[in-house]
Chain A
Amino acid sequence: MRTKHWIVTALLRLYPAAWRAEYGPELAGLLLARPLSPSVIGDVLWSGLRHRALAVEPSTILGLASMSVVLTGFVLTGGTYGRNWMAVLQPASGTFPPVTVTFLGTELYVLLLIGCGCWTRLRHGGSVSQSGVAAMTMSLLAGLPVMVGGVLMTCGFFSVKFLGPDLPPVSPLAIQISPLARLPEFWMWGALGGQLAKWITRPRERAGAIQP
């Protein structure tokens, strides 16, 4: 019986805390009242993971996806460019000089920021400003590898050199603050996404207000 209690408690821990607070005791009661077959455990496991996935904020999902793209970019660039992982960061003129990750400078990333703001607003409502904050959170997550790279450079774990002529030396501090320096811009794109979502949902909200 103690083992069953332990398994039920472990299964319930898979669900998000808010869901657990609302439905946890009922589900626990139901699970304790019947045999725990592998199919029942599988069903609760799958359901818990689905709830957990659905509870994750859009900014976290998109931020982690962007981060994985950035990290993949690091690995692929390092792996294909040279033998000594020398070309991890590439120079670009469009963003904070002198170092940037190419992915963060693309238009696709702007679309992701707008999408993040839009998705956040559609999911939770809230103000346009909150959509902007969600885009900033996403960018902080995506920029984490870059900032960690800057810290590692400061600590002397590795250094970055560009192969072109007359290029300035890469400052670790610039790498660390580059994702932070662009946060206001990211907020703006996220807020734009939030505003777009507001326009999308306005006709529906109006229709809902008219109905008795």
Chain B
Amino acid sequence: MARKPRTGPAADPELLILASLASGPNHGYAIMADIETFADVRLGPGTLYTAITRLVEKKLIVPQSSVGRQRPYRLTAKGAAALAELLTDMRRVAAVGLRRLEPA
């Protein structure tokens, strides 16, 4: 039974894939499993490969040589910079939001 996917900026498939690949090259199935573990988001295979296609087109990740049917993807320097920028922005917004939620 598939869990109801989380929504919001932290559930963006492109962001999640970039975050997953930050720990090293990985293939589709492993990326999907990793995302489920660290973000509790279950990406559908179609959604996953749509996001991978977009990231490859933007040159944020690159495919490496295939091992059988599985092909690992690696984060590029541009991808790492984009991920760092995104996460820094999110952290700033999250910090402000959480601070304002605290009782005075």
Point out residues on A near B: beta carbons under 8 Å.
19, 22-23, 25-31, 33-34, 37, 39-40, 42-48, 50-51
Q: Would you call the interface of chain A mostly helix, strand, loop, or mixed?
A: helix
Point out residues on B near A: beta carbons under 8 Å.
1-2, 27-29, 32, 44-50, 52-53, 66, 68-71
A26 & B70 in contact (Cβ 8 Å cutoff): yes
Among candidates B28, B47, B71, residue contacting A43 with C-beta atoms closer than 8 Å: B47
Collect the chain B residues with CB atoms within 8 Å of residue A42's CB: 44
In the bound complex, how far is the Cα of B69 from the Cα of A128, in angstroms? Answer: 40
- Known contacts A19-B53, A22-B53, A27-B49, then 13 further A-B pairs from the complex at CB < 8 Å, ordered by chain A residue: A26-B49, A26-B71, A29-B29, A29-B70, A30-B28, A30-B48, A39-B2, A39-B44, A43-B47, A44-B44, A44-B46, A46-B46, A48-B46
**Whose C-beta in chain A lies nearest to the C-beta of B44?**
A43
* A8–chain B nearest beta-carbon distance, Å: 10
* A197–chain B nearest beta-carbon distance, Å: 19
A23 & B46 in contact (Cβ 8 Å cutoff): no
* A-B contacts, CB under 8 A, total: 58
* A-B pairs with beta carbons under 8 Å apart, 12 shown: A23-B49, A26-B27, A26-B49, A26-B69, A26-B70, A26-B71, A30-B48, A40-B45, A42-B44, A44-B46, A47-B44, A48-B46
Collect the chain A residues with CB atoms within 8 Å of residue B50's CB: 47, 50-51
In the bound complex, how far is the Cα of B28 from the Cα of A25, in angstroms? Answer: 11
* A42–chain B nearest beta-carbon distance, Å: 8
A29 & B53 in contact (Cβ 8 Å cutoff): no
* A149–chain B nearest beta-carbon distance, Å: 41
A30 & B29 in contact (Cβ 8 Å cutoff): yes
In the bound complex, how far is the Cα of B49 from the Cα of A37, in angstroms? Answer: 17
A44 & B45 in contact (Cβ 8 Å cutoff): yes
Collect the chain B residues with CB atoms within 8 Å of residue A51's CB: 50, 53
In the bound complex, how far is the Cα of B48 from the Cα of A29, in angstroms? Answer: 14
* A147–chain B nearest beta-carbon distance, Å: 38
**Whose C-beta in chain B lies nearest to the C-beta of A23?**
B49
Nearest 7 CB-CB pairs, A to B? A47-B46, A43-B44, A29-B69, A44-B46, A43-B46, A39-B2, A25-B69
Collect the chain B residues with CB atoms within 8 Å of residue A26's CB: 27-28, 49, 69-71
